[in-house]
Structures are given as structure tokens and as C-alpha cells.
Amino acid sequence: MKIEFNHLFFEYGKNRVLSDVSFSVTGHGLSTIVGPNGSGKSTLLRLAAGILKPSAGEIIIDGAGGMVKERRAKLVSYLPQEQNTAALGVRETVMLGRNAWMSAFASPGKCDDGIVERAMRMFDVDRLVGRTLAELSGGERQRVMLATVVAQNTKILLLDEPTASMDVARAMDTMESLSLLAKTKSVVVVTHDLQLAMRYAENAVLIGNGKVVASGATTETLSPENLGSAYGCRCKIVGDGETRTICFIPGYTG
């Protein structure tokens, strides 16, 4: 399974957000896209999900570009930053992930029920059944929406800030679950949490000012030099292995 971003350009009106962006995500594993606010990270996911169309360049998924909506829904699932807080129940929400595989007006079958139950258990939201999204905390809603994405059962998961609103323990549990999923799927995570990216992602793409600063193995991509260039401040990394910590130091790098 491969996602190729080839010479992408994108503008919102007269504002250029992405400029000649090229990189690829290959095979199974957890990859992350990181960078400062406004650098184009979420835009990249929306382009890959087919929600936006590039001004120039192309995205090729599993060897195909410009695929129809129905095929994309069975291949790619997408978690946006903004979540719906409607009065749907938890289980009803997660079942929405099965829509791509069900014909119009069909009722869920035993297979759908089983997939939904497993997805809810994975993110510990089965205990929230009987409540509506509007009754949940931000972190709980996020876990319900992650279960919904997983219930879609696609080969590629595009997740925009999946640990937003979660405390440290829940965020780490979530990344552990995503790491397990990534053994059989391509999981691409946009995050502002560089520590989680460093700990869990096998590969990383660092974006700055709408361009790729670096991409490749996470430990090489998230180097002090690359991070300093992207974020515009001094940076150092201390510790080793699971204790590696990224430290930003006040002062513009120029």
C-alpha cells in the first residue's frame, strides 16, 4: 500500500498553502506529519482524503489517482480535527463507519456488529454505550470518532490530531493502539505532539511554510537542525530511546 504526493501545490484563494510538496508513505507502519501551525499539515490529509483537490500535482493511492468516491471510501478513512457533537449515540456513531460497505437502506449484519464491537473495545468506548456524543468529554468524543474510523476497515487511515483533548495516559494508550493497527495498515497521523511522534512513528514528514523540510525515518527527520529550521527556534534532543526528549530553546534561529 503506497500513497504518493507528487509535486503538490494548493491555494486557498490567493494564499498558497502548499508549494511543490513531494513525499511518499509506503507499506504498513505508522507515519506522522508534523510542523508549525499553518504549515499545511491538515491540508495534506484533506487532499489525500479527496475532500480537496490540488491546484497542481497529484496524489496516487495504491497505484491509482482520481479514484471515485465509493472506491476511496473502501480504501481510505479520514479523521478530521473538528468533530460532530450531534445527539447520536456512541454505538450508532461507530456504526456509521460501516456505511461504505453497506448498500443503501440495508441493516447492519453480524459481521458489521462484530467489527463495531472490536473497534469500540480498542479505544475503550464500549463502556460509553447508552450515552450521546453531546454528553461526552472532548477526549471521549475523540476516542469514539477513532473507533468509527477503525470500523470503516480500510487499508489506509488518515488521522488529524487523533490525541487532541486527551490526557497523557489516554494519548499514549491511543498511540499504542494505532501502532498495533499499523502492523497491517498504513496509518498517517498529523500531530503537534512531537514527543508522541518521536516515540511511536516509524517515519515522519516535517513541513514548514508549505514545503517539505525533511522526510524519512523519524529519528533522522526530527533532528535538531531540521526542527530548528521548521519551527524557527533553537532545538536540542536529550536522552536516548524511549527517554528521547525534544527541547526548544527561546531564540530565533534566523
Q: Which residues make beta-bridge pairs with 10?
A: 18
What is the C-alpha separation between 180 and 177, in angstroms, rounded? 5
Nearest to 33 by CA among 51, 45, 18, 16: 45
What is the C-alpha separation between 81 and 77, in angstroms, rounded? 14
pLDDT at 251: 65
Lookup: cell for 73:
471510501
Q: What is the DSSP letter of 241?
A: G
- Along the chain (254 residues), what's the average pLDDT of each consecutive run of 10 residues? 92 93 92 95 94 94 76 90 80 94 81 96 96 92 96 96 94 96 96 94 96 95 94 88 83 56
Position 132, amino acid: T
Q: What is the DSSP letter of 211?
A: E
SS3 253: coil
Q: What is the DSSP letter of 124?
A: T
Which residue has 465509493 as its cell numbers?
Answer: 70
pLDDT at 101: 87
What is the C-alpha separation between 111 and 122, in angstroms, rounded? 17
pLDDT at 252: 56
Lookup: cell for 185:
495498515
- The DSSP line for 147-188 is HHHHHT--SEEEEESTTTT--HHHHHHHHHHHHHHTTTSEEE
202 near 31, Cβ under 8 Å? Answer: yes
pLDDT at 85: 63
* Burial grade of 90 (CB within 10 A; 0-12, 13-18, 19 or more): buried
pTM of the shown model: 0.92
186 Cα distance to chain centroid: 10
